[in-house]
């Protein structure tokens, strides 16, 4: 299983737990996972895409407009992903 | 009106239009706005927070679990925001 598959299944599990229990522990686990995701060069728009997929799985009756809104958010976030890639290549040149 | 207020009202307007019309033009406008947001040092988690607020305004009956999921996504995205801040300070030192 590659990191993206691990990320997706872990994200699903931690988010489900957060929604059910509103637990700080799940938030903390999410933060730990986000550090790993950054190290593995997962872009912010990929995270949002996973988030949307998980919501669709957990709530199959989620309204279409909400799902459509995620397409917009993903497009909006792409420039943030590019800015972060630039950051990484800049850092790689420095060290 | 400061940039965050402009961003919020523009984001609401463009997202509403995208959901209603599924238009490429709205996606494009979103991308233009995301570049401005990056320049104005708006973090990715702030964008997600605005997205959630706009959905709540547009769909007051949105289920609580979906809103709660955004709190998780915002926390998850905070490390991406920090990584981007780091990028900016690194760039400021270089130029």
* B44 contacts on A by Cβ (under 8 Å): 44, 77, 80
Does the ipTM surpass 0.90?
Answer: yes
pLDDT at position A86: 79
**Subunit contact B66:A59, Cβ cutoff 8 A:** yes
Give the whole-angstrom CA distance, residue A44 versus residue A51.
11
CA-nearest residue to B72 within chain A is A27
Say which range, A65-69, A81-85, B8-12, B28-32, has the weakest mean pLDDT: A81-85
CA distance to A12, A43, B38, per residue, from B25 (Å): 32, 24, 20
**Inter-chain Cβ pairs, chain A and chain B, closer than 8 A:** 125
Task: Determine the pLDDT at residue A26.
Answer: 95
Helical axes A44-58 vs A64-94, angle rounded to 10°: 150
How far is residue A55's CA from residue B7's CA, in Å, rounded to a whole number? Answer: 26
Confidence band, pLDDT 50/70/90 cuts, at residue B95: low
CB contact under 8 A, A76 and B30: yes
At residue B92 the predicted structure's pLDDT band, cuts being 50, 70 and 90, is: confident
Is the separation of the CB atoms in A42 and B79 below 8 Å?
no
Residue A95 has pLDDT above 70, yes or no: no
Question: Which residues of chain A have a CB within 8 Å of the CB of B72?
Answer: 14-15, 18-19, 26-27, 30
pLDDT digit string, tens, across residues A20-43: 999 999 999 999 999 999 999 999
Is pLDDT of B16 > 70? yes
């Amino acid at each position: 299983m590659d990191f993206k598959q691990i990320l997706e299944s872990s994200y699903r599990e931690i988010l489900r737990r957060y929604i059910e229990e509103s637990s700080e522990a799940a938030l903390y686990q999410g933060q730990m996972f986000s550090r790993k995701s950054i190290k593995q060069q997962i872009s912010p728009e990929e995270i949002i895409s996973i988030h949307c997929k998980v919501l669709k799985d957990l709530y199959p009756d989620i309204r279409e407009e909400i799902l459509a809104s995620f397409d917009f958010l993903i497009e909006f976030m792409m420039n943030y992903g590019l800015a972060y890639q630039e950051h990484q290549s800049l850092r790689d040149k420095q060290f």
